[in-house]
Structure 1
Amino acid sequence: MTLESDVLAAFPAEVHIPAQLVADAIAASSAEAPRILVVLDDDPTGTQSVSDLAVLTRWEVADFAWAFAYIRENQTKPAVYVLTNTRSLDPAEAAARNEEIVRNALAAAAGSAGPRLQLGFVSRSDSTLRGHYPLEPDVIAATVAAETGETTHGVVIVPAFPDAGRVTIGGVHYMRGTGEEAGKLTPVAETEFAKDASFGFANSEMAKYVEEKSQGRFPASEVIVLDLNTIRAGASAQDPAISAKAIADALEPASNSTPIVADIVTENDLRALALGLEEAERRGKKLLYRVGPPFVRGRIGQEIRTALTSEEAYAGNTPSTSGGLIVVGSHVGVTTRQLTALTAAHSSARIIEIDVEKLLVPQADGYIATVVSDVVEALHQGDVIVHTSRLLIKTDDATASLKIARTVSAAVVNVVNRTLKTFPPRFVIAKGGITSSDVAAHGLEIRHAIVRGPMLPGIVSLWEPVDGPAKGIPYIVFAGNVGDDQSLAQVTRKLSTTF
């Protein structure tokens, strides 16, 4: 570990940049042809940094047409999220899904009413560097080229998520410490996330991470690094235009999907980067983005939304009098600690454990039916916490590990869906990326939703389903790797009538 203050001492102070300055720059450059960012989110937790944007769990041309119309009619910020769930897929499936989504988005844009739409593409992934990289941006770039003839000059890689304690300084990606470790930084490759069964990695220095994951196709020496000296070039004069020019100048050599990594510590850094990217694109650079959650907020010039209140969570809907359903599938350490804290504090909640070993045998259907019956009965009395057993079953084979994870997730989805159609809960919280994705798309059968905002400052998003059997039921997307030990209890308390 090292002290954050020591690492930052070598760099300039941040440049103060209002979100409106970014929004104005975007409006000026897209006056004739509106530009919409299509965010391919490899699990739904990417929405936790934004508010009042459309979310799709299906990606037919008609779904994109709905989203583009929603943006136009409601004059929202120009972005739509598409829930790909590719982190739960093998590489071939992930590639095929990315390609299909990009093709359909481009087709919908070409057929949309009104002014010609421009699309930008964002590959949203994990702030702790897990996921299909470089496969996903490669596929997006190839599909855009095949459909439009447009070559991608650079892929901008911004995993930072300061709200959740992930920052990039001097080209190195870190996790901030909490509690007694506050103020200290741990290189992300030294954390539990780097040991992920499917997406593990060895390097915290982003240029070396790119070389590692691309198996040498992109040598570290050829990666463009936008460190804080460049991001904050206008610090002495507090002039964002100086930083924007410095960033755009640094991107001039980018060609043929050159990887570009960026230092980010604060929201102002994200906005400075956004202005620089806007300037680079104005000069003709074609860019794709591989990013953590808050990048899109900065890139579209959206203000930071304050955490939703209990009243705001149910605004416009009549909440059910039944209990709420909290579903926990993630196995990372912070999730287990949050689950322990919730069960200790919420003494009136019924706790139902799904035994993972019983899901991996031929008689699993009967076991699932018993779990559903227990959940429905308990919801009549109050909140229900459903979690998978904490023993993580995995193998040394990444594909086999994914298959186990998908079997478990399918069972959880089955429980949620059958519960919803028997006795709808007051609210649903899903803890874990793959878990929350599958619960949204299949458990609650959400096709279109609006992300209303965060339940805690900067993290944990609330979706309002606008169609399907869960319409009007607040759905909380809670990443496995965010928050402190009390965060799950805090979110539940906001929504519950019995906590």
Structure 2
Amino acid sequence: MMIATDLLNALGIPMTDSPKIIVLDDDPTGSQTVHSCLLLCRWDVDTLCLGLTDESPIFFVLTNTRALPPDEAAAVTREVCQNLKQALAQTQITDFLIVSRSDSTLRGHYPIETDVIAAELGPFDAHFLTPAFFEGGRFTRDSIHYLKIAGVDTPVHETEFARDSVFGYHHSYLPDYVAEKTQGKILAHQVERFLLADVRSGTYDRLMGLTGNVCVAVDAETQADMDRFAQDVLRAAAQGKRFLFRSAASLLTSLAALPPQPVPANEMAQYVRQGNPGVILVGSHVQKTTAQLTQLLQNPTVAGIEVDVSHLLSDTLDQRERLRESVLAEVQAIYASGKTPVIYTSRQELTFPDTQTRLAFGVEVSNLLMAIVQGLPTDIGFLISKGGITSNDVLSKGLALKSARLLGQILPGVSVVRTPLDHPLFPTLPVVLFPGNVGDNDALATAYHRLRVAAHNEQE
């Protein structure tokens, strides 16, 4: 794949017109197909300027809005956009693309986030739904979004993700999904459709004709489809068209058009600190994560520590502190024995009277897990964080990072970042950001094995 400047030159677009790709990511897993860029855990003006002036063509602002109720998600998005306007003015950057990155199984605060972005940073000629994420088996054909399950192309409304207690939906056909989520403000027939034949033959002329922030659903079955669409987008943007994207990760691959990552996935053990064992933290409770956890725990070099989160429904602060201390004592004992502790939340699905209560409980769980992260042995070799919201909190709260540099992927769709050299507790710690719904049953065990190679070789 050509790097971004080469791609633009091939299209006859001067390098100086190469747009900065600004991604507002509702959890930290949207960077799962790119590398060597910054993930910003804060969005004050100075931090945003770091991203805008970084040499990478793309950067991510980790808003974590998927963990927030709608009004808070809107407020965070608005604050990011308002600060971004100041940062763009300070850096004198006028050529950029905005991506509202969210889940490839259609969960998230749509259209809340895109509406706020349009109000603060618009007007836009169109906003595009591009949910394809090929590494995760998600693609769009005939405007229907699919997830490949056990080799079967399954419309996403038939999957567990559509039954999400916060972000559930009833339609895989994207125009109907838009009508459902906008509560009829955008009707299904008003959604423009870029079908596979359109994408593959070129959409430039249609892109140039879009106005009024029209909603467009984009088909893509392969990365080549997304590459072709991105080429037409860049060409139209160079002619002054302004576009907004509600997207999963695969579009970002095509827009950034980066060369291969510096260290291949199967060689990432070289980042492990001093060959030491690591720690694995599992917060996600989707079925795929539970299957992966079950497989991982069969490895004799790990030991599981279950955290029964139901206690958080009634325990006092003192009881929660004792729970934290108990977990950390188990971590220390397992780590001292040369094994890797696997800290995981209890797997049973709890029920709540309403969405607000469920989200508030999620904050309580996260607070406990992040307090555990802050008490981990400071010489651990690596940290694997399983779950999108869990991973965001690990970076922004557990490790209290301002930003992190993305190293690349250890598995398709599974990113690795590293803490800075001056981190007060965990300098140069490799941290794996593992989405809850990515990979086969062996994926978590495979990621662990690729890092454990360093510890195993060191001990030998």
TM interval, shorter chain, is over 0.9
Residue of structure 2 equivalent to 1:236: none
* Letter of the 1:405 counterpart: G
Q: 1:93 aligns with which of 68, 72, 93?
A: 72
- The answer to whether the 8 Å contact 2:43/2:80 transfers is yes
Where do residues 46-445 of structure 1 align in structure 2 (5 Å cutoff)? 46-71=30-55, 76=56, 78-112=57-91, 116-145=93-122, 151-178=123-150, 182=151, 184-233=152-201, 243=202, 247-303=203-259, 305=261, 308-309=264-265, 311-315=267-271, 319-344=273-298, 346-360=299-313, 361-362=315-316, 363-381=319-337, 382-419=339-376, 422-445=377-400
Distance, in Å, in 2 between the alignment partners of 1:359 and 1:314 is 38
**One-letter code of the match for 1:290?**
R
| 1:220-250 deviation digits (Å, cap 9, x = unpaired) | 10101101010111xxxxxxxxx1xxx1222
Change (3 A) 1:306 1:32: closer
- Listed one character per residue, the Cα deviations across residues 439-481 of structure 1 (whole Å, up to 9, x for unaligned) are 111112222111111111x310000122533331100000000
In the alignment, structure 2 segments of 5+ residues that lack a partner are none
Q: How many angstroms apart in 2 are the aligned matches of 1:266 and 1:296?
A: 14
Instruction: Please give the secondary structure, in 2, of the residue aligned with 1:167.
Output: strand
CA distance change for structure 1 residues 204 and 310 in 2, over 3 Å: closer, same or farther?
Answer: closer
Tell which deviates more after alignment, 94-103 or 168-177.
94-103
Shift of 1:309: 4.1
What is the CA-CA distance between 1:46 and the residue it aligns to? 0.7
- Render the CA deviation track for 1:352-410: whole Å, top value 9, x for unaligned: 11011122221222211211222123222221100000012132512211111221111
Task: State whether residues 268 and 451 of structure 2, in contact with CA within 8 Å, keep that contact through their aligned partners in structure 1.
Answer: no
d(CA) in 1 for partners of 2:242 and 2:125?
5
Q: Is the 8 A contact 1:22 1:299 kept in 2?
A: no
Distance in structure 2 (CA, Å) of the matches to 1:171 and 1:22 = 31
Query: Counterpart of 1:5?
Result: none
- TM (norm. structure 2) is 0.92
| 1:273 aligned counterpart, secondary structure | helix
**TM-aligned CA deviation for residue 123 of structure 1:** 0.4
Any conservation in 1 of the 2:8–2:15 contact (CA below 8 Å)?
no
| Paired amino acid for 2:178 | V
Amino acid at match of 1:431: K
> Quick one: distance in 2 between partners of 1:26 and 1:120?
18
**SS of 1:215's equivalent?**
coil
Distance change in 2, residues 1:94/1:32 (3 Å): same
Distance 1:165 1:424, change over 3 A: same
**Equivalent pair of 1:324/1:384 in contact (CA under 8 Å):** yes
2:8 is aligned with 1:25: yes
Contact 1:432 1:479 in 2 (8 A): yes
Number of the residue aligned with 1:486: 442
Question: What's the TM-score once normalised by structure 1's chain length?
Answer: 0.85
How far off its partner does 1:110 sit? Answer: 1.5
Letter paired with 2:187: P
Q: Is the 8 A contact 1:342 1:489 kept in 2?
A: yes
The CA deviation string for residues 166-191 of structure 1, in whole angstroms up to 9 with x for no partner, is 0100100001132xxx2x21100000
2: CA distance between counterparts of 1:26 and 1:271?
15
Choose 194-203 or 403-412, whichever is displaced more: 403-412
Taking the aligned partners of 1:305 and 1:442, their CA distance within structure 2 comes to 27
Read off the aligned partner of 1:355 and give its amino acid letter: D
- For residues 474 and 412 of structure 1, the distance between their equivalents in structure 2, rounded to whole angstroms, comes to 18
Relative to structure 2, which stretch is displaced further, 278-287 or 436-445?
A: 278-287
Instruction: Name the CA shift for 1:304/1:397 in 2 (closer, same or farther; >3 Å).
Output: farther
Q: Is the 8 A contact 1:307 1:455 kept in 2?
A: no
- Check 1:224–1:305 CA distance in 2 against 1; reply closer, same or farther (3 A cut): farther
The number of residues matched between the two structures is 448
Q: Please identify, of 20-29 and 488-497, the stretch whose mean Cα deviation from structure 2 is larger.
A: 20-29
SS of the aligned residue for 1:368 comes to helix
Counterparts of 1:425 and 1:66 in 2: how far apart (Å)?
29
Change (3 A) 1:311 1:283: closer
Alpha carbons of 1:479 and 1:198: their partners in 2 closer, same or farther (altered >3 Å)?
same
Matches of 1:308 and 1:410 in 2, distance apart? 34
2:20 aligned residue: 36
| RMSD across aligned positions (CA) | 2.0
CA spacing shift, 1:400–1:474, aligned 2, 3 Å: same
CA separation of 1:26/1:165 partners in 2, compared to 1, >3 Å: closer, same or farther?
farther
Question: Percent identity among equivalent residues?
Answer: 34
SS in structure 2 at match of 1:106: helix
